[in-house]
Every structure is written in structure tokens, then in C-alpha cells.
Amino acid sequence: MEQWVRPEAAVTASLTRRPVSKWKKRLPFFIAYGVLGITTMPIILMYIWLLLSSFAKQMKYGFIPVSFTLENWKFLWTNVEHGGTTLPSIWTATWNSFLFSITLTMLEVLIGVMAGYALSRIEFPGRQMLMKTTLILHAFPSVALLIAVYYILNFLGLFDTLFGVLLVKTALQIPMTAWIVKGFFDNVPWDVEWAGLIDGCSRLKVWLTIVLPMIKPGIAAVSIFSFLSGWSEFLLLYMFIVSDDNITLASYLQKLISDPNLVDYGLLSAVSLFYMLPVILFFIFTQKSLMEVSAGGGKGV
């Protein structure tokens, strides 16, 4: 024990050590900002280009606008000619996209809340089994099943209908949504429900007046998430929708892009911006809760 008493010698050495210069100390932080700045810059620039290009007649070096015009936004009031044919009105596509996304949101929230509550709170035979299945389906390569889904839609007579694609999209997302909502319910303590029951509410009333309000913020986030996901959906719509009446914004834009004779970045960026509008709006107002949900999506596993 003796060597423990007042270890003077060991200490004086370190006390005389000079503190490092401020520069060296801050170096890691400068590097951090540098790396982040350099890697983030291209992303910012690309989105700025999208904005500039949509209002520019011509771009110098492909980036600096020469003169401003509203010409590119003409698609809002006239139908775009493309490869000899006329595309349907942008408003048809917008309406379809909106219909698709809003119905998707309602379906997902409704089914997700019901299933989430059942998984979280009700004991029934096969519950463990169902929960495991739900978890597995998170990671299931659903895209690889699209050939079979095509066959099923065909069989049900739902091919080339928005409703058919809606069902597919809901199905692909519902395991994740139900699991997240189940997580919200798990976080509501039983005590709260018991207190409600003791205070004289029925189970349904407790659910409606006490439990549901408690998970409202979570539900709101899930709704936004599924709306945006419906709004952005491309692949399913491209595969299972053929008629122009059912065209959505994603397919509309893709048709423009894939036309080799028409590389009009002005028009393309204007349509893109128009298409991205809800994304941008939601992004600005709800980014915090979005981050939480997208992080929460992975948290379970």
C-alpha cells in the first residue's frame, strides 16, 4: 500500500506537460466540418440546379442560368407533346397521385393501428407466431415477388387499376407500419389503461379517449411517412398501370425522361419541382418527427 501514498514523482511529470496549441486541438473539428461540407455541397448544388433550371431559358456551363423564363412551367396549363403523342394533363396525374397517396395513408393507418393494438395488447392463440412473421416480413425481398403479384392482380381483374396497386403497396408496407404502431402501444403503460378502467370507462372508451390520444404524435408521423411513400412510388405504378387515365406523376415524369428525343432539362426540372412540392413542404415542417420514425423503423431489429 505504501506506494499509493502521495505519488508525487509520477505526477509532477504530467503537470509540467504543456497544453497543446489551440490549433492542434481544434484540428479534428475543422476536418469534420471540411469533410461534411465537401460531401454535402454536391447535394445542395444539385437541388439548387433543379430550382434554377426550371426558371431558366438556357444554362451556361450547364449550371449558371442565362435568362429567366416561365416557359418551362407551361405544362401546368397545356398538355405536353412528347414523341409524337400528347401526354395527359398534369392535373390528371396529380389527382391520381394524390388519390393514391391519401388512400394509401388511410388504409395503412387504419389497418396498422388495428393490427398494432392487437399485437401489443391482446392475447390470442398464434400471437407469437404472427409477431415473428411480421418481423421477418420487414426484411423480406418483396420486390422479387412482383411477377407473382402481377399474376394475382391479373387474376383478380385489378391489373391497370389504381386500387390494385394500392392494395399491393399497402401490403408491402403494412408489416413495418404495424410493427412501429405496436411499438407506440407498447410504450403506453398498462397503468394508464387500468386507471381508465377503474375510473369507469369501457375498454373501447379507454382506447378511444386515453390510449389513442397518447400515440397521436406517432400516428401523425406514420401518416406523413406513408403519404410521402405513396407519393414517391414509381416501380409498382410503372409495372401495373398502363393506361393514360391512371397515370401518376412519377410515371408522367419518367415518360418525359425516357424520351431520347427530348432532353429538355428546363421542362424536366420544372415538372420535378412540381412533383416534389409536397415532399419539400412536409420536409420543412416535419423533418424532426420524420427522422425519429425512420430511425425507429430500424430500431426494432
Partner 1 sequence: MKIELKNLCKSFNKKTNAIDRMNLTVEDGEFVALLGPSGCGKSTTMLMIAGIYKPDSGEIRFDGQLVNDWEPKDRNIGMVFQSYALYPHMTVLENIAFPLKQQKVPKKERMERAKQAAEMVRLGHVLDRKPDELSGGQQQRVALARAIVKKPKVLLLDEPMSNLDARLKIEMREELSRLHKELGITTILVTHDQEEAMMLADRIAVMKDGKIIQYGTPMDLYHRPSDFFVAQFIGTPPMNVFRGKLIGNHLHFLNQSAELNNEQWNTAQGELDVYVGIRPHEVKLGKGGDIRAKGIVQMIEPVGHAQIIRVNIGDEQLRLFAEPTAAIEYESEITVSFHLSSLHLFDVRTGKSLRKEIMKESQTEEMVG
Partner 2 sequence: MGSALKKWKLPMIMLGPFVALIFLFFFLPVVLIVILAFTNMDSAMRWEFAGLANFQKMLEDPNLFKIMKNTALYVGFTLLINVCFGFVLGILTTYYIQKEPVSLVFRTIWMLPRMSPPVVYVLLWLWFFDPSEYGVLNSLRALFHMEPVAWLHEHPMTAIILANGIIGASFGMIIFSSAIKSIPKDLFYAASVDGASQWSIIKDIIIPAVRWPLMFVTIWQFLSLITSYEYIFLLTNGGPLFESEVLALYSFHKAFQNFEFGYGSAISLVLVIIALIFSFMMWKWFGMQKMMRSSKIE
Contacts of 257 (CB under 8 A, 6+ apart): 268
Pairing label, strands 85-86, 81-82: antiparallel
Q: Is 6 in the site for partner 1 (CB under 8 A)?
A: yes
Beta bridge partners of 85: 82
270 interacts with, out of partner 2, partner 1, none, CB within 5 to 8 A per kind: none
**Complex with partner 2: residue 32 or 192, whichever CB lies closer:** 32
222 interacts with, out of partner 1, partner 2, none, CB within 5 to 8 A per kind: none
6 interacts with, out of partner 1, partner 2, none, CB within 5 to 8 A per kind: partner 1
Q: Look-up: residue for cell 438556357?
A: 58
Q: How far is CA 45 from CA 19, 42, 48, 68, in A?
A: 41, 5, 5, 18
CB of residue 295 vs partner 1: minimum separation in angstroms?
21
**Complex with partner 1: residue 10 or 129, whichever CB lies closer:** 10
Contacts of 272 (CB under 8 A, 6+ apart): 50, 54, 253
167 interacts with, out of partner 2, partner 1, none, CB within 5 to 8 A per kind: partner 2
Q: Is 25 in the site for partner 1 (CB under 8 A)?
A: yes
Return the sign of the alpha-carbon dihedral for residues 100, 103, 107, 109. positive
CB of residue 53 vs partner 1: minimum separation in angstroms?
43
Beta bridge partners of 65: 59
CB of residue 21 vs partner 1: minimum separation in angstroms?
10
CB of residue 32 vs partner 1: minimum separation in angstroms?
18
15 interacts with, out of partner 2, partner 1, none, CB within 5 to 8 A per kind: partner 1
CA dihedral 286, 53, 235, 134 (to 10 degrees): -20
Binding site for partner 1 (CB under 8 A): 1, 4-7, 10-11, 14-15, 17, 19-20, 22, 25
